[in-house]
């Protein structure tokens, strides 16, 4: 069931990434500069996810 299972670091980062991408999309309609900043933050988080994945495979 997983009700009380703690989230892994990767799951937490992906959740944050999703929130940033959604926020960037919302901002893209009104403030392009802020949207680009959120998208850059999301990209940095995704780099961390990729790094975690490569460490786990090693």
Domain that holds residue 31: 9-57
Residue 34 structure tokens:
């802020």
State the pTM of this model.
Answer: 0.86
Residue 44 has pLDDT above 70, yes or no: yes
In a domain, 4, yes or no: no
In a domain, 27, yes or no: yes
In a domain, 39, yes or no: yes
In a domain, 21, yes or no: yes
Find how far residue 52's CA is from the centre of its chain.
Answer: 13
Reported as a single tens digit per residue, the pLDDT across 10-28 is: 999 999 999 999 999 999 9
Residue 4 has pLDDT above 90, yes or no: no
State the average pLDDT for the chain: 94
In a domain, 40, yes or no: yes
Looking at residues 29-50, what average pLDDT do you find? 97
User: What's the domain count of the chain?
Assistant: 1
């Amino acid at each position: 069931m997983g009700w009380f299972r703690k989230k892994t670091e990767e799951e937490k980062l992906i959740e944050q990434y999703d929130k940033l991408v959604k926020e960037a999309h919302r901002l893209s309609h009104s403030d392009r500069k802020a949207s680009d900043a959120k998208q850059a933050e999301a990209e940095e988080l995704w780099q961390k996810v990729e790094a975690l994945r490569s460490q786990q495979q090693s």
